């Protein structure tokens, strides 16, 4: 079974430039998450999708970050314009539907390491 696929793996951009990350979740996983992981820290949730609907984006900096999951499968996360503090690893994860409201395992992608210079 293919895992969560993210691209690119690495990205270096100058501040004020736009950048986009792409994620293809595991087939059949209706829940998709974008996390940001700063160096030496645990992942922090940016946004969660249930199918094509963003159901939790309370931690997404909406002035410069946007995300979409138009057909409820692939997703893109965009930053425009990027700032120096956006340098981090951006992780995508997906999970299958759970039964009876139970949480199910989140499977992570390899991440995109963004460096803003």
Partner 1 sequence: GENVEQHPSTLSVQEGDSAVIKCTYSDSASNYFPWYKQELGKRPQLIIDIRSNVGEKKDQRIAVTLNKTAKHFSLHITETQPEDSAVYFCAASKDTGFQKLVFGTGTRLLVSP
The upper half-sphere exposure of residue 43, i.e. CA atoms within 13 Å in the direction of its Cβ, equals 19
Q: Is 50 exposed, middle or buried (CB count within 10 Å of its CB: 0-12, 13-18, 19+)?
A: middle
Minimum separation from the CB atom of position 81 to partner 1 (A): 27
* CB of 19 or CB of 91, closer to partner 1: 91
Minimum separation from the CB atom of position 52 to partner 1 (A): 15
Task: Give the footprint of partner 1 on this chain (CB under 8 A).
Answer: 3-4, 31, 33, 40-45, 48, 50, 55-56, 91, 95, 98, 101-111
């Amino acid at each position: 079974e293919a895992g969560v696929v993210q691209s690119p793996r690495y990205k270096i951009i100058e501040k004020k430039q736009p950048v986009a990350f792409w994620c293809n979740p595991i087939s059949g996983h209706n829940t998709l998450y974008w996390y940001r992981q700063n160096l030496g820290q645990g992942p922090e949730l940016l946004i969660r999708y249930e199918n094509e609907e963003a159901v939790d984006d309370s931690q997404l900096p909406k002035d410069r970050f946007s995300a979409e999951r138009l057909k409820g499968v692939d997703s893109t996360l965009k930053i425009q314009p990027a700032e120096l503090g956006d340098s981090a690893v951006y992780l995508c994860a997906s999970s299958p539907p759970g039964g009876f409201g139970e949480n199910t395992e989140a499977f992570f992608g390899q991440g995109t390491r963004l460096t803003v210079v």
